[in-house]
Amino acid sequence: MTGRKSGPKREQILEALRDVQDPELHRSIVELNMVREIAVEDGRVAVEVLLTISGCPLRETIAQAVTERLRAIPGVSEVDVRLGVMDQEQRQALIRQLHGGGLPAAMDGATPPSRTQGLLAVGSTTRVIAIASGKGGVGKSTVTANLAVAMALEGRRVGVIDADIYGFSIPRMLGVTGRPTAIDQMLIPLESDGIRVMSIGFLLPDESAAVVWRGPMLHRALVTFISEVHWGDDLEYLLIDLPPGTGDVSLTIAQTLPRASMLTVTTPQPAAVSVAERAAKMAELVNMEVIGVVENMSGFTPAPGAPTVDLFGRGGGARLAEILGVPLLGEIPFDVTLREGGDIGLPTVKAYPDCPASRALREVARRVVARLPVAILGS
Ligand SMILES: Nc1ncnc2c1ncn2[C@@H]1O[C@H](COP(=O)(O)OP(=O)(O)O)[C@@H](O)[C@H]1O
Ligand SMILES: [Mg+2]
| Ligand 1 geometric centre to CA of 142 (Å) | 5
Lowest mean pLDDT among 9-13, 105-109, 222-226: 105-109
Q: pLDDT grade, residue 117 (50/70/90)?
A: low
Predicted local confidence at residue 136, as pLDDT: 86
Neighbouring C-alpha atoms within 13 Å toward the C-beta of 12:
16
Exposed/middle/buried for residue 88 (C-beta within 10 Å: 0-12, 13-18, 19+): exposed
Q: What are phi and psi of 270, to 5 degrees?
A: -55, -40
Alpha helix (H) residue ranges in 163-269:
170-174, 215-227, 248-256
Letter for the amino acid at 355? C
**In a 3-state reduction of DSSP, which class is residue 57?**
coil
Letter for the amino acid at 269? Q
Q: Residue 237: pLDDT above 90? A: yes
Q: Can you give the length of the chain in residues?
A: 379
Instruction: Determine if residue 345 is left, alpha or beta; phi over 0 gives left, psi from -120 to 50 gives alpha, anything else beta.
Output: left
Mean pLDDT of 33-52: 92
- What residue segments make up the domains of the chain, in order of their start? 10-86, 127-371
In CATH terms, the fold of domain 127-371 is Rossmann fold (3.40.50)
pLDDT in tens, 241-294: 999 876 788 888 888 898 899 999 999 998 888 888 888 888 888 888 999 999
List the helix and strand counts (H, then E) for the chain: 12, 15
Letter for the amino acid at 9? K
Q: Residue 166: pLDDT above 80? A: yes
Residue partners of 201: CB distance under 8 A and separation at least 6: 162, 168, 170, 171, 172, 207
**Which atom of ligand 1 is found nearest the CA of 341?**
27
Q: pLDDT grade, residue 124 (50/70/90)?
A: confident
How far apart CA 168 and CA 13 sit, in angstroms, is 46
- Percent of the chain residues topping a pLDDT of 70: 91
Cβ-based neighbour number of residue 68 at 10 Å: 12
Say yes or no: CB of residue 252 within 6 Å of ligand 1: no
Q: Whose CA is nearest to atom 3 of ligand 1?
A: 334
Q: Which of 127, 137, 156, 157 is nearest to 263 (CA)?
A: 127
Alpha helix (H) residue ranges in the chain:
10-17, 59-71, 88-98, 140-153, 170-174, 215-227, 248-256, 270-285, 316-324, 336-344, 348-351, 356-371
Q: pLDDT grade, residue 5 (50/70/90)?
A: low
Q: Residue 143: pLDDT above 60? A: yes
Q: Which ligand is nearest to the CA of 170?
A: 2
Say yes or no: CB of residue 275 within 6 Å of ligand 1: no
Q: Which ligand is nearest to the CA of 133?
A: 1
Instruction: Give this prediction's pTM.
Output: 0.85
pLDDT in tens, 73-112: 999 999 999 999 999 899 888 888 887 644 344 334 444 4
Q: Residue 115: pLDDT above 80? A: no
Say yes or no: CB of residue 166 within 6 Å of ligand 1: no
Instruction: Determine if residue 7 is left, alpha or beta; phi over 0 gives left, psi from -120 to 50 gives alpha, anything else beta.
Output: left
Q: pLDDT grade, residue 4 (50/70/90)?
A: very low
Say yes or no: CB of residue 373 within 6 Å of ligand 1: no
Mean pLDDT of 300-317: 88
Q: Residue 175: pLDDT above 60? A: yes
pLDDT in tens, 322-359: 999 999 999 999 999 999 999 999 999 999 999 999 99
Predicted local confidence at residue 287, as pLDDT: 84
| Ligand 2 geometric centre to CA of 282 (Å) | 18
Are 83 and 37 contacting, i.e. CB atoms less than 8 angstroms apart? no
How far apart CA 319 and CA 139 sit, in angstroms, is 18
Site to probe by mutation for ligand 1, drawn from 339, 349, 364 as the one with most ligand atoms within 8 Å of Cβ, is 339
**Which atom of ligand 1 is found nearest the CA of 265?**
22
Say yes or no: CB of residue 134 within 6 Å of ligand 1: no
Say yes or no: CB of residue 141 within 6 Å of ligand 1: yes
Q: Which residues pair with 320 in a beta bridge?
A: none
Q: Which of 54, 146, 43 is nearest to 362 (CA)?
A: 146
Mean pLDDT of 16-31: 92
How far apart CA 167 and CA 136 sit, in angstroms, is 10
Predicted local confidence at residue 202, as pLDDT: 93
Predicted local confidence at residue 246, as pLDDT: 63
Q: Which of 32, 30, 28, 25 is nearest to 13 (CA)?
A: 30
How far apart CA 179 and CA 189 sit, in angstroms, is 9
Mean pLDDT of 201-220: 83
Say yes or no: CB of residue 142 within 6 Å of ligand 1: yes
Residue partners of 276: CB distance under 8 A and separation at least 6: 132, 133, 134, 138, 264, 265, 266, 293, 320
CATH class of the 10-86 domain in this structure:
alpha beta
Predicted local confidence at residue 116, as pLDDT: 55
| Ligand 1 geometric centre to CA of 71 (Å) | 51
